[in-house]
Amino acid sequence: MTAPLPTRSAPLPAVSAASALPADGTVHAANGDTSRRQLLRRAGALALLPAAALPLALGGCASDDIESYRADKPVLDLRSYFNGTLDAYGIFTDRSGQVVRRFTVVMVCTWQGDQGVLDEAFTYSDGTTERRVWRLTQWPDGRYTGTAGDVVGEAQGQARGNAFRWGYTLRLPVDGKTYDVQFDDWMFLMDERVMLNKAVMTKWGIRLGEVTLSFVRRSA
């Protein structure tokens, strides 16, 4: 389980490169904000589902949250929605709400039975590109598990009603080092073509930023 965030009466601590990352001096820059921005940009670059991991014990309190959407419609079937080609448009914001990075994604999705492959091609506003391939498994009880090259261990998720909650840990390279950052990823189906996605990034229970994006299925 992740460490709880501070309550409203206890303000969030300031997050700099020194406080958000290991204290062994591994990320160096002229100032802490520059290093923090590098980590946030990397996270924003990689955080798509269908970006997203807290060894999130999507049991326990997490499953209680997702249950509240059980009656909401339209009902989300991941195998039906993430099938064929989709486009996604997103931004990554830091803790202050400032947009750190913008990106688009083309996703090519296929399924064979309960096994799915989501091949994501990212293009960022600075012209750089990246790729992630998710391999998903759907389980009879509504759970999903997934792996990808930069995901630590196994991502876990649950679908109820029009909602899907997806938790995972991404291993992000920064200045020759790597850092494990957790994502709590929520998706909500709006209609047969559009789904909205919001993911919160944390490290050591400290909120570092958010990814917000929309998926749009291409017309047949």
Query: Which range has the worst mean pLDDT, 20-24, 152-156, 161-165, 191-195?
Result: 20-24
**Does 18 score more than 70 pLDDT?**
no
Q: What is the 3-state secondary structure (H, E, C) of the chain?
A: CCCCCCCCCCCCCCCCHHHHCCCCCCCCCCCHHHHHHHHHHHHHHHCCECECCCCCCCCCHHHHHHHCCCCCCCCCCHHHHCCEEEEEEEEEEECCCCEEEEEEEEEEEEEECCEEEEEEEEEECCCCEEEEEEEEEECCCCEEEEECCCECCCEEEEEECCEEEEEEEEEEEECCEEEEEEEEEEEEECCCCEEEEEEEEEECCEEEEEEEEEEEECCC
Res. 32 pLDDT band, cuts 50 70 90: very low
Residues 174-186 have a mean pLDDT of 92
Question: Residue 183: its pLDDT value, please?
Answer: 96
Query: Which range has the worst mean pLDDT, 16-20, 49-53, 117-121?
Result: 16-20
Res. 219 pLDDT band, cuts 50 70 90: confident
**Does 65 score more than 70 pLDDT?**
yes
**Does 33 score more than 80 pLDDT?**
no
Query: Which range has the worst mean pLDDT, 13-22, 40-49, 50-59, 158-167?
Result: 13-22
The single residue listed with the structure tokens 């899907």 is: 164
**Does 188 score more than 60 pLDDT?**
yes
**Does 49 score more than 50 pLDDT?**
no
Residue 48 near residue 211, CB atoms below 8 Å:
yes
Q: What is the dihedral of CA 127, 18, 203, 179, to 10 degrees?
A: 60
Average pLDDT taken over every residue of the chain: 79
Domains of the chain: 25-217 (2.40.128.20)
Give the tens place of pLDDT for each residue, 89-134: 999 999 999 999 999 999 999 999 999 999 999 999 999 999 999 9
